[in-house]
Chains A and B, each alone.
Chain A
Amino acid sequence: MSAVIIARHARTPAERFKDAAWVAFVALLLGIPMVGLTTVDQGGALTVQTRFGMLGAFVGVSFVGRFIFRWIIDQFRNRRAAKAAVAKVDRTPQVIKLIGWVVLGASVTMPIMFSDNRYVIDTATTVLIYVMLGWGLNVVVGLAGLLDLGYVAFYAVGAYTYALLFSHFGWTFWEALPVAGAMAATFGILLGYPILRLRGDYLAIVTLGFGEIIRVILVNWTELSNGPNGIGSIPRPTLFGLPFDRNPAEGTQTFATFFGIEFSGMHRIIFLYYLILVLALLTNVFVSRLRKLPVGRAWEALREDEIACKAMGMNVTNVKLSAFAIGAMLGGFAGVFFAARQGFISPESFTFTESATILAIVVLGGMGSQMGVVLAALVLVLLPELGRNFAEYRMLLFGTAMVLIMVWKPSGLLSSREPTIRLNKAAATGGQP
């Protein structure tokens, strides 16, 4: 017990000495049977011999090693404490803003720099899908504080709505997009109603079940969804009616012929990248704006204290349902894009693992932080990709990285919260004498 306390607070040389002595004592206790005694085969009989020299060295190394190790840790801690005392001004909001602009600049110019590298742009597109999903789930989990483990259901609803609207009625991407969003929002409200009274763990379990129900329906209702075989040949989105095909159909133009450039398969990949970038940015603007509106403040208030919300005359039912509906709608939009990008969807794409990944992005990023979602999506999608060289150790590395991040930043990568309204700013524009 005392050793633990010493180890935590050792700052003075005397304390460090005591700490190292304690470690050496433990080393001695362990060392006697492990190092100090050894069995030797002497003419067919085992005899015990002592190795006090080696034991002494073992204990000595433990002592010196611990002393130096402790000294290094203390140096590090002192420096950090000194730094914290000096830099007390909180510049986090400015830093976040700066990171935001850098990331935006990088994401806009990225396809130009890597215009012939399909792998990079494909991966970046995947990151952006997760960013968009993360921003959608952020409304439900980060702002409204409703733990949703079945978010992938709305993603699936969006994707299947587009696939079915196409295969039955021949709808295009742009026609299906708003309808799929509305469809997902409807499902969000359908899920929201029965779980209005639930919170915390219970809410998580029901949403988890909901996600599974949607997946199981998609697997088994073969007439509707074609079951596990999925739905294929979903058309790619067009640029204002210009498809990205190699050979234009009779009397129509493609992207390449319209602009008079040579056809390249990369055009479509880059177009898809910019499309999801625009969708994600619109999502971001939309959610950031909503956060500063009464409905957004109500979400956050709901997360903070539901009973106080009621006492303020807030209709908690509407607040919860609006959070579910808007979160679901954004997930639905992302689903439509996913279907259009893959060209083929099956229930296999919408497993619980997806929900868990999206939730991990929101939590790892820092609940409610828009910028945090971007960073976390980068980490969560890129880490497994970068780890491909490590083959079977990939997921192990991934897990270790997650654990390390949570140890280092328990409340997420970017957990600071920017107020939605400030008095001082308002007073300044109001004109002070």
Chain B
Amino acid sequence: MSAATLLSVENLTMRFGGLTAIDDLSVSVPAGKITAIIGPNGAGKTTFFNCLTGFYKPTTGSVRLTHPKKGDMRLETMTGHRVARDAQVVRTFQNIRLFPKMTVLENLIVAQHNFLQDASRFSIAGIFRLPSYRRAEAEALKIAAHWLDRLGLTDIADVAAGDLPYGTQRRIEIARALCVDPVLLCLDEPAAGLNPRESAELNTLLLSLCREEGIAILLIEHDMSVVMNVSDHICVLNYGRKIAEGTPEHIRNDPQVIKAYLGEDDEETASGEIAA
């Protein structure tokens, strides 16, 4: 791994009462690459995301972000909204969480809330529509228009987000996260519920975001056609522990991984499944 480390998670443990969801996990996420977290259901993947993005406070361990502009930050000490606002680590959700009654464009503008709220100067500049606020709004609109165009959502920008098909809603959620200007984008099962054509498009999108925009991506995914094709690095969790880590080729042939996914006896079918 030649790339610099963007996020380094060390000895992370998350316990809920007697249940240990994440057990002494250490992972490092390189800058400008796509890292996938895979594992069977209940392996602790989403809990791991919640710990990274301030929704849970980890029991022990540290999450250190090396922000390209702001230097080192300790994410585990920050509350939910500060992780997104200050550290620019932005996530999407496994079960889509849009603002359904608001239009697609409004969803993207809300994502730029902090920038606009500062520009509105406690809403006073906004109420009187002073030029400084109007400029900020035009800029936010430009950023939104850029991502709408990039994700092919321009035509439906003024439609209520909740009225759109599932696959489109997934794209809107990614577009909205991008409007926060992330340094690390955490996607929780972005391909869930997508048809094969849509997940192929998702692959292209993720690769271009990473290669062209330089956004590091952390990905939880069950769809192996996505994971194996886009990931630079894969980390496999089972029962809250890391059981393997490496390139897609390495993971595909790792006996531990095959065992975790399909049990011990069916090794042949298992490797076929993972390779698919």
**Chain A residues within CB distance 8 Å of chain B:** 286, 289-290, 293-295, 297-298, 300-301, 304-305, 307-316, 417, 419-424, 426-427
Contacts and interface: CB of A to CB of B under 8 A. Distances in A.
Contact of A297 (B100, B110, B145, B157): B110
B77 interface: no
B120 interface: yes
B216 interface: no
Contacts of A304: 98-102
Contact of A313 (B101, B127, B154, B180): B180
Contacts of A300: 99, 101-102, 106
Identify whether the interface residues of A are mostly helix, strand, loop, or mixed. helix
Contacts of B102: 297, 300-301, 304, 419
B113 to A, nearest CB: 5
B82 interface: yes
Interface in B89-143: 90-93, 97-103, 105-106, 109-111, 113-114, 116-117, 119-120, 123, 126-127, 137-138, 141
21 contacts: A290-B123, A293-B120, A294-B123, A297-B113, A298-B113, A300-B106, A304-B98, A304-B100, A310-B80, A311-B80, A311-B97, A311-B177, A313-B83, A313-B84, A313-B113, A315-B81, A419-B158, A422-B105, A422-B158, A423-B144, A426-B138
Contacts of B157: 422-424
Interface residues of B, number: 48
Interface of B: 53-55, 80-86, 90-93, 97-103, 105-106, 109-111, 113-114, 116-117, 119-120, 123, 126-127, 137-138, 141, 144-145, 148, 154, 157-158, 160, 176-177, 180
A419 B156 CA distance: 13
B158 A424 contact: yes
Contacts of A419: 102-103, 105-106, 158
A312 B111 contact: yes
A378 B261 CA distance: 64
Given A305-B98, A308-B93, A421 B141 contact: yes
Contacts of A420: 106, 109
A171 to B, nearest CB: 26
B101 A305 contact: no
B123 A297 contact: no
Given A295-B120, A423-B158, A308 B127 contact: no
A423 B110 CA distance: 14
Given A308-B93, A315-B81, A419-B103, A295 B117 contact: yes
Contacts of A289: 126-127
